[in-house]
Amino acid sequence: MAELRIINDKIDFRGKNVLVRIDADVIIDKNGNVEPGGEFRLFGSEKTIKFLVKKGARVILMSHLGRPNGVTESLRMTPIAKRLSEYLHLPINCLKEITGPDVKNVVSDMKNGNIVFLENLRFDDREEKNDSAFAQELASMGQIYINESFATAHREHASVVAITEFLPSYAGYLFAQEVEVLREVLRNPKRPVLAAISGAKIETKASLLKNLLPQVDYLLTGGGVANMFIQAKGLRIGSSISEPSMLDFVKELLRDFPNKIFVPTDVKVLREEQDGKKSIMILNSESVEDSDAIYDIGPQTSEIYANIISLSKTCIWNGPMGKIELPDFQEGTKKLAKAMLASGVYVVVGGGDTVAALRKMNLLTGFGHVSTGGGAMVAFLQGEKLPAVDALTY
Ligand code: 3PG
Ligand code: MG
């Protein structure tokens, strides 16, 4: 079994420049501050950073933010470094560049225990190209590399893959924990295992459903994923989101796993009449009309799902049950979370939106493992090889 190289006590960090790739890809609000729901991801690197500082390392933090095309003022690292510094109660010197002579000067003046934060890695288009020369420029500033960014483990980018060619490289504590938990949940879960899969981006969930269905005992569906199954049963979904190109695939899943898949029996819709009048109502899934958009699961479905949860020992959850950015459609997601917390089932939950929403609803404490990965967690669970994990594996 391939082993991950993990940060540990035996490594001599004292006086060394340690490059630490974290995932600081959070949402910045209109006032330029870090949006609280998503902060959890940023704070995930706490243990590794504090460990390194205590060990007398000189810590060079680096991350991407968003998907910029060249230098973009609204995607600078400044607010992130400020928020992280407040949270850790440690000073962080945020730089305006990624590499170059000025950065090198600052880095060479660092004292043991100092922290600097480089500018957004994606301001340089070589990052996403896994460019060797860019990786080497980064690597030349340090003696050791730590990857603490599980959320980008599915990306073949310079700061998570190419850089490992140039420095002794290790997974940080959070990264290692993510890999371990997700491996265990696939390989060795306590049964019955339930997967709750939903969300708006249905096409991104196809391989996940295909890989998980043979392995789990139950599948609860919500959001756009549920719409597809409702449609596959021959029912109307009105103006709800769906992905027509996936309908045949979803029908096949229903045929192959008829007893595992649970589809909402009732839904909460936003009805928009021709005169523009809008109303919210709960309908039996068979009674959805053309003027309806399904935005949440209904109360009966929530109860059925809570029952299935109480029968399960392990639960893998990705994606909110409804359109949770609208307060009227948060109930299904809330009830699902509460049922999981009440039943004591071991829950592995992930997905940027789901986690941010749960945090806002104060429902994030009590889950077995909250993954910082969105796409990375999905890629892992659908059986893909993650380039950044491979790069740190013996
Ligand atoms: C994420 O948001 O899941 C990670 O930060 C990766 O971001 P990306 O999808 O822009 O590569
Ligand atoms: Mg992202």
Reduce the DSSP state of residue 61 to 3 states and report it.
strand
- Closest CA to ligand 1's atom 9: 375
pLDDT at 191: 97
pLDDT at 175: 98
Q: Count how many residues are written for the chain.
A: 394
Q: Which residues of 362-389 are buried (b: 16+ CB within 10 A; e: fewer)?
A: ebbeebebbbbbbbbbbbbbbeeebbbb
Please check the confidence at residue 284 and state whether its pLDDT lies above 80.
yes
Please check the confidence at residue 329 and state whether its pLDDT lies above 90.
yes
Ligand 2 centroid – CA 38 distance (Å): 11
For residue 66, the ligand 1 atom closest to its alpha carbon is: 10
* Per annotation, catalytic residue among 222, 332, 351, 352: 352
d(CA 76, CA 24): 11
d(CA 318, CA 187): 18
- 76 included as an active-site residue: no
Instruction: Please say whether the beta carbons of 162 and 132 come within 8 A.
Output: yes
151 lines ligand 1 (CB under 6 A): yes
Using CA of residue 130, residue 44, residue 320, residue 379, what is the dihedral sign? positive
Please check the confidence at residue 224 and state whether its pLDDT lies above 90.
yes
Testing ligand 1's pocket by substitution, the residue of 23, 174, 201 carrying the most ligand atoms inside 8 A of its CB is 23
Q: Outline where DSSP puts E strands in 118-256.
A: 144-147, 169-171, 193-197, 218-221
Please check the confidence at residue 295 and state whether its pLDDT lies above 90.
yes
Which ligand is located closest to the Cα atom of residue 374? 1
For residue 375, the ligand 1 atom closest to its alpha carbon is: 3
- 352 included as an active-site residue: yes
- 41 included as an active-site residue: yes
pLDDT at 196: 97
Which ligand is located closest to the Cα atom of residue 201? 1
Average pLDDT over residues 128-141: 98
Amino acid at the residue 263: V
Please check the confidence at residue 27 and state whether its pLDDT lies above 70.
yes
Q: Which residue has the higher pLDDT, 201 or 298?
A: 298
Tokens of 181: 């938990």
Instruction: Please say whether the beta carbons of 49 and 13 come within 8 A.
Output: no
152 lines ligand 1 (CB under 6 A): yes
Closest CA to 169 of 376, 9, 391: 391
Ligand 2 centroid – CA 34 distance (Å): 14
Please check the confidence at residue 1 and state whether its pLDDT lies above 80.
no
Ligand 2 centroid – CA 202 distance (Å): 18
Which ligand is located closest to the Cα atom of residue 379? 1
d(CA 309, CA 307): 5
d(CA 294, CA 269): 4
Please check the confidence at residue 177 and state whether its pLDDT lies above 70.
yes
Closest CA to 34 of 68, 82, 94: 82
| Confidence class for position 204, pLDDT limits 50, 70, 90 | confident
Ligand 1 centroid – CA 153 distance (Å): 9
Ligand 2 centroid – CA 155 distance (Å): 11
14 lines ligand 1 (CB under 6 A): no
CA Rg value for the chain: 23
Please check the confidence at residue 202 and state whether its pLDDT lies above 90.
no
- 44 included as an active-site residue: no
21 lines ligand 1 (CB under 6 A): no
| Confidence class for position 364, pLDDT limits 50, 70, 90 | confident
Collect residues with CB below 5 Å from ion ligand 2. 25
Please check the confidence at residue 131 and state whether its pLDDT lies above 80.
yes
Cis peptide bond N-terminal to 258, omega within 30: no
| Confidence class for position 11, pLDDT limits 50, 70, 90 | very high
d(CA 225, CA 390): 30
* Per annotation, catalytic residue among 41, 55, 260, 334: 41
Ligand 2 centroid – CA 65 distance (Å): 7
Q: Which residue has the higher pLDDT, 129 or 355?
A: 129
d(CA 325, CA 128): 30
Average pLDDT, the chain: 95
Closest CA to 6 of 118, 150, 111: 150
